[in-house]
Amino acid sequence: MIPAFEAAAAHEPASVAEAARVMEQLAREGRRVGFVGGGTELELGALPERIDAVVRTRGLRRIVEYQPADMVMVVEAGVTLAEIQAAAREHRQRLALDPPWPDRATIGGIVATGAFGPRRARYGAVRDLIIGVQLVRADGAIAHGGGKVVKNVAGFDLPKLACGSLGTLGLIAVANFRLHPLPEASETVLARGLSAADVTKTMLRLREAQLEAVALCALRAGQGFDLALRFEGFGKGVEQQVARLLQMVKASRGEEGFWARHDQVRTGGPLRVKVAALPTDLAEVDKLLAPLGAAFAWYPSLGLGFASGPAPGQAASVLADARAGLVRRGGSLVVQAAPAEIRARVDPWGPPPPSFALLQRMKDNFDPGHRLNPGRFVGGI
């Protein structure tokens, strides 16, 4: 738990209406407010200097509406991803998101952090699956956007604005999602001992052959990489795609614990970082991160990767050098979690993006007093 959050007064509303009343009261008192869901990504962002009150979403645990025929589910912020999947599974459906810690990660936190997993390669990010949102603004007003609402609030695409906003625009109270059918079959093909160039070449050959893997992930293994390709869908279609792939690359059927290793990379620590680069830049990214001695996972088709492990004494300087190298190549590095001594020396976000002026305008519009998760987001927003 973040020290400033531990010292703050805690509020746990049991309904959206109660959450709005709490936010209105905190606004009248001029309180600085933080938000907590399952706490899986609480370390993400800069450490706040002061938080007066924390609003927890554990009391917002209802599945408000589920229409299996329309493949739409409406849930409150405190519902965990595992609970959503359990409800959808009864109708052979799922929410196609697979971030870490599904038993703890709440949907409000997933939206606020833009969390994702390897299936993003096929189904997209949170912003591609969310269709509606209710946001409790800084003054306690409830803003509705998307879903069955004809016009978004103030002309904004509110559901997409909420994604990755880290609680700086308001309390994400309710989210509407489109679901997907559960696949009839799922199979992983594993290629071992590849070079970085081999990983990239395999990804490009997959595209050329129009094979549709729902997930591609390379894990650092010794001096090379193990590459897993997961196929899902109707049984016959999966079998055909796997057979074609095995004709193209030297690989074997079966995951052999690969996805468990992947999950360990995503949840390890105490140091965790996320990197972005061109999909073809794996060799350069791996070289920049190597001094950390961390486990490393790379999503080749997305150009996104994650590293985790112990925090060596030179970690701060290594992170600074790695970030500089990535930025020169048009990429980025975000520190998701780190010991206090590293957090004190390394900006978690790095240089503000070109869209920073727009982010500032959104913050001024939704939170004029800059009281919500103050200073935690990129550029000190």
CATH code, domain with 247: 3.30.70.3450
Enclosing H/E stretch for 265:
helix 258-267
195 and 281 part of one domain: no
58 and 204 part of one domain: no
Enclosing H/E stretch for 258:
helix 258-267
State what percent of residues in the chain have pLDDT above 70. 98
Under 8 Å between Cβ of 321 and 355: no
The alpha carbon dihedral of 204, 333, 1, 14 has a sign of negative
Q: 378 vs 7, which has greater pLDDT?
A: 378
Residue 352: C-alpha distances to residues 278, 333, 347, 358, 376 (Å): 19, 12, 11, 11, 13
341 and 362 part of one domain: no
Mean pLDDT of the chain: 96
pLDDT at position 155 is 62
pLDDT at position 49 is 84
pLDDT at position 152 is 44
Digit-coded pLDDT (tens) for 106-160: 999 999 999 999 999 999 999 999 999 999 999 999 999 987 543 344 567 999 9
135 and 58 part of one domain: yes
CA atoms of 161 and 88, how far apart (whole Å)? 26
121 and 26 part of one domain: yes
pLDDT at 194 exceeding the cut of 70: yes
189 and 251 part of one domain: yes
In this prediction, residue 293 has a pLDDT band, given cuts at 50, 70 and 90, of very high
43 and 121 part of one domain: yes
Closest residue by Cα to residue 174 from 140, 132, 128? 132
2-23 mean pLDDT: 95
66 and 199 part of one domain: no
pLDDT at position 36 is 98
114 and 148 part of one domain: yes
258 and 174 part of one domain: no
pLDDT at position 150 is 33
39 and 72 part of one domain: yes
Under 8 Å between Cβ of 159 and 146: yes
pLDDT at position 335 is 98
In this prediction, residue 196 has a pLDDT band, given cuts at 50, 70 and 90, of very high
CATH code, domain with 293: 3.30.70.2740
CATH code, domain with 161: 3.30.465.10
Residue 239: C-alpha distances to residues 181, 204, 226 (Å): 18, 21, 22
Q: Which domain-ending residue is among 230, 263, 296?
A: 263
168 and 28 part of one domain: yes
pLDDT at 222 exceeding the cut of 70: yes
Q: Which residues of 173-197 are buried (b: 16+ CB within 10 A; e: fewer)?
A: bbbbbebbeebeeebbbbbbebebe
Range of the domain at 205: 183-263
CB count in 10 Å sphere of residue 248: 13
- The number of domains in the chain is 3
